[in-house]
Amino acid sequence: MSLRELLNDVSDIIFPPQCLACVEIINQPAKQVFCSTCQEKISFITDNFCPICGVPFLVCPAGTHICGNCLVNKPYYTQARAVAGFETVIMDAIHKFKYGRNVSTGNSLGLFMANFSFPDFNFSEYSLLIPVPLHIKRLRDRGFNQSLLLAKEIGEKYNLPVKFSLLKRSKFTLTQTGLNKAEREKNIKGAFVVANREKVKGENIILIDDVYTTGATVNECAKVLLKAGAQKVSVLTLSRVTQKQA
């Protein structure tokens, strides 16, 4: 047993783990971060999605197909995958984590993300992880980068280095909330710079973020990384807004 596991066991006795979305105490804490009632409400994205952006399809009679958005505007990234829809339980947990400045919730959500079996994602094709960076101003307000906490757990599970200083946010952007896809793309354009092109060259990169909304942010990150010489960029997020596509 590692020191970390031992400390976790001891703290489980003193502070029994609470479900990340409600007040329920979890009886079987091994790898569980939600109580069973909340766990059942989560809509995991396991099949019937666009092979590029990962948007779930409501009905899929013709089997897997590329969605309308990706057909018209092919993203820079290769694949985007999310654990679950951004709704109910997951939404509550992310809010608690981001705005409640709760680092331990972040670590648990990272573990939850790392333990999810992304159905068609091959981690062995990738060489490093980059969390989507926050602008220094927002980082100071929040106290931590939520994407970095998620990336750390995935890096540990898949033995991939987390390079949080390779990509920087050079422009302070207003919140993307309330903007449509085109407005988001315009708002985020030019917001990121690669800090060290040499370290990006030829790499197969996984970008990590908490929520995929329209994909404007991660697509902009993928664009600058590819321009800097990265070979391939894909995206993993904890959750995604699921405007279901026909």
24 binds Zn ion (CB under 5 A): yes
92 binds Zn ion (CB under 5 A): no
151 binds Zn ion (CB under 5 A): no
103 binds Zn ion (CB under 5 A): no
Of 36-44, 76-84, 161-169, 207-215, the window that binds Zn ion (rule: CB under 5 A) is: 36-44
216 binds Zn ion (CB under 5 A): no
Of 61-69, 92-100, 155-163, 165-173, the window that binds Zn ion (rule: CB under 5 A) is: 61-69
Helices (H), 19-145: 36-41, 68-72, 88-99, 103-114, 136-142
205 binds Zn ion (CB under 5 A): no
Of 6-14, 42-50, 115-123, 187-195, the window that binds Zn ion (rule: CB under 5 A) is: 42-50
| DSSP code, position 57 | B
| 157, amino acid identity | K
Q: Least distance from C-beta 4 to Zn ion, angstroms?
A: 25
Rounded to whole angstroms, the maximal C-alpha distance in the chain is: 54
Nearer to Zn ion, 24 or 87 (CB): 24
User: HSE on the CB side for 177, CA within 13 Å?
Assistant: 1
User: HSE on the CB side for 51, CA within 13 Å?
Assistant: 5
Q: Least distance from C-beta 238 to Zn ion, angstroms?
A: 17
Q: Which residues contact 67 (CB under 8 A, 6 or more apart)?
A: 50, 52, 53, 55, 57, 245
Rounded to an integer, what distance in angstroms lies between the CA atom of residue 229 and that of residue 2? Answer: 39
Among 33, 45, 67, 191, binds Zn ion (CB under 5 A): 67
Residues that bind Zn ion (CB under 5 A): 19, 21-22, 24, 35, 38, 50, 52-53, 67, 70
